[in-house]
Amino acid sequence: MGYQSVYDRSMNDPSAFWAEAAELIDWNQPWERVLDDTNPPFYRWFSGARLNTCYNAVDRHVIAGRGDQAAIIHDSPVTDSKTVITYAQLQDQTARFAGALKALGVEKGDRVIIYMPMVPEAVVAMLGCARIGAIHSVVFGGFSSRELATRIDDAKPKVMVAGSCGIEPNRVVHYKPLLDSAITLAEHKPEHCLILQRPQEPGSLVAGRDLSWTEALAEAEPADCVSVAATDPLYILYTSGTTGQPKGVVRDNGGHAVAMAWSMANLYNVQPGEVFWAASDVGWVVGHSYIVYAPLLAGCTTIVYEGKPVGTPDPGAFWRVIQEHKVSVLFTAPTAFRAIKREDPTAEHLKRYDLSGFRTLFLAGERCDPATLNWAEQILGVPVIDHWWQTETGWGIAANCLGIEPLPVKPGSPTRAVPGYDIQVLDDTGEPVQPGDIGRIMIRLPLPPGCLSTLWGNDARFIQSYLSTQPGYYLTGDAGYMDEDGYLFVMSRIDDVINVAGHRLSTGSMEGVLAAHPDVAECAVIGAADQLKGELPLGLVVLKSGVTRASEIIIKELVTLVRDEIGPVAAFKTVVVVERLPKTRSGKILRGTMKSIADGKDYRLPATIDDPTILDEIQTALASIGYARHA
């Protein structure tokens, strides 16, 4: 059955479509309604049904006779270690961890915050919570004490689970002191902390509150899976809020399990037993969905990688992992490939490895410029699939669904709407725009299974943030257009559509032009305030390693390229070469922060920033060309 017919079925009869998809999951009790639309805009999936997510991700594979198959491969170049955990071993570890939680008084509906590095125990902790119906909230390891404290006060966890430290290529991150400080700052005080003591830096335990992971699990009575309602929360995942107060995205058990399992076969075209690698972190949504839940629900082997695309030890790090662990499909961020491309433009390191079993590269997390996509295609010789989704949706909104029907690739587009998503591009009055015209990308309600059901403890903010702009629609916050073939082009955040003398222009389209220059490794375009034209585009570019041509010549070429490709209307005249761009730890470029610097405005240091010292470099670079005047 082709893409269009599958998509049409999902639109015309979503209840029948998702009921069929739900056959991928084992249920304790069937649903009363597939789509419960009795309380819009709070749509619920599989109401009345009961299941256990951990059972579906672990136990049923053991019962089916696949207990000896690898469930998790942990590969840690920063500690020079590798570990394989089978499904049978994972069942034992999750049952013991769940038992340790129960011994600490954790019950169904209680919250547990997990603050862990990229180690298998982080996956065990998540699954162990799901096993007994506790709601986990993973906070990216190394987040500041203040940011962790805000999440403690919002989720009010009974127990904290943390590693004693994280390992970066050049330093040890002191998790335990950060955790202690966060608990001191927080008004809510967790009753206990379970600490995984890493040999690189064990933490000091607080008597009466802290317990050793190893000792607690050794003494624990293994816990059975607890049946929960499909509409019960599985986890809370915090995403940045515009007010500085993080928003706790709530994901349910039933719809999430169905969407994850369906997406593995239909979107990624991955079968049980294959090795799937999402090169992300469990602290981000990609880690939740495609390091932990989706691969295990589908019976695959998942890679937990504690390393970087470059520097651990070189730009061949990804190729080594793919060869060594027989990875079939890799999913990572375009930023990772830009980093590899910058350090190894001719892919010399790739020649040392055999990637004959590697089938597909998926990219997401930030718009993939055509230059990066084409480079990856050229060096790998496999399909490179850009797809688009968000923390809030939890899985792909637009993608080339390889398990249904591979569609022609259009560089710069994540292809077409994934079945279940009714994507519309609307103007400021809520009317559809013409093909090729930029507008707000919206999704008509109801959202498909797996998407957020609300924000933790704040239904009103859920409606205000996502559903109030246009009644009956979810606001993605992204701007873009659809072409005549229904291909979606996500150009920028709505805030990044700049107004140059009354013309609405996408910074993403300009970035695409800059990225195509042979000397450019990565780039960003922001709209800097201008008294005459309102805003003017300002380009920041990082050059590839080994480029020796004069920056002034490259800058002139870049300005000419944008003028030729987009036209004089863009008023693109200014480019500055920088050593690096400020990013979040998940690889997103902090365009809004750079815009504030350029405009001389105060800004709040983003909690997710990878390295705050980069902002001083950006400040200096922008000041050298007359920006950052008032800062």
pLDDT digit string (tens) for 185-215? 999 999 999 999 999 999 999 999 999 999 9
- State whether 107 and 62 are in the same domain: yes
Q: For position 461, what pLDDT does the model report?
A: 95
d(CA 493, CA 304): 30
Can you give the pLDDT at residue 502?
Answer: 59
Quick one: 566 and 420 in the same domain? no
Q: Let me know if residue 411 belongs to a domain.
A: yes
pLDDT score recorded for residue 567: 73
In a domain, 367, yes or no: no
For residue 321, is it within any domain? Answer: no
In whole angstroms, give the CA distance from residue 285 to residue 280: 9
Closest to 317 in 3D by CA, of 349, 357, 363 = 349
- On whether the CB atoms of residues 159 and 188 are closer than 8 A, the answer is no
Same structural domain, 468 and 535: no
The answer to whether position 493 is within a domain reads no
Is residue 136 domain-shared with residue 218, that is, in the same domain? yes
d(CA 302, CA 57): 12
Task: Give the domain CATH number at 564.
Answer: 3.30.300.30
- In the chain, which residues have pLDDT < 70? 240-244, 495-497, 499, 501-504, 629-631
253 and 115 share a domain?
A: yes
Beta pairing class for 503-506 and 520-530:
unpaired
| 353 vs 321: CA distance, rounded Å | 10
Residue 200 is predicted with a pLDDT of 95
Residues 426 and 531 reside in one and the same domain? no
Tokens representing 629 are: 């005047």
Per the omega criterion (within 30 degrees of 0), is the bond before 345 cis?
no
Residue 631: per-residue pLDDT: 40
Amino acid at 575: V
- The closest of 337, 361, 366, 308 to 521, measured between CA atoms, is 337
Going by C-alpha positions, the residue among 137, 131, 133 that lies closest to residue 153 is 137
Query: How is residue 451 written in tokens?
Result: 């998407």
Looking at the structure of the chain, the number of domains it has is: 2
Identify whether residues 260 and 133 lie together within a single domain. Answer: yes
Do 22 and 66 lie in one domain? The reply is yes
Residue 398 domain-assigned? yes
Question: Residue 367 has what pLDDT?
Answer: 78
Same domain flag for 464 and 535: no
Distances (CA, A) of 470 to 61, 421, 465: 44, 16, 11
Q: Would you say residue 334 lies in a domain?
A: no
Q: What's the rounded Cα separation, in Å, for the pair 468 and 146? A: 30
User: Does residue 317 fall inside a structural domain?
Assistant: no
| pLDDT given for residue 466 in this prediction | 96
Residues 158 and 244 in one domain: yes
Which of 32, 586, 35 has its CA nearest to residue 335? 586
Give yes or no: residues 476 and 505 share one domain: no
- CATH number for the domain harbouring residue 274: 3.40.50.12780
Task: Based on the fold, state whether residues 392 and 535 are members of the same structural domain.
Answer: no
Q: Which residues have CB under 8 Å from 222's CB, separation 6+?
A: 92, 95, 96, 98, 99
pLDDT given at position 287 = 96
Flag whether 330 is in a domain: no
State residue 88's pLDDT score.
98
Q: For position 244, what pLDDT does the model report?
A: 59
Residue-range definition of the domain harbouring residue 529: 501-623
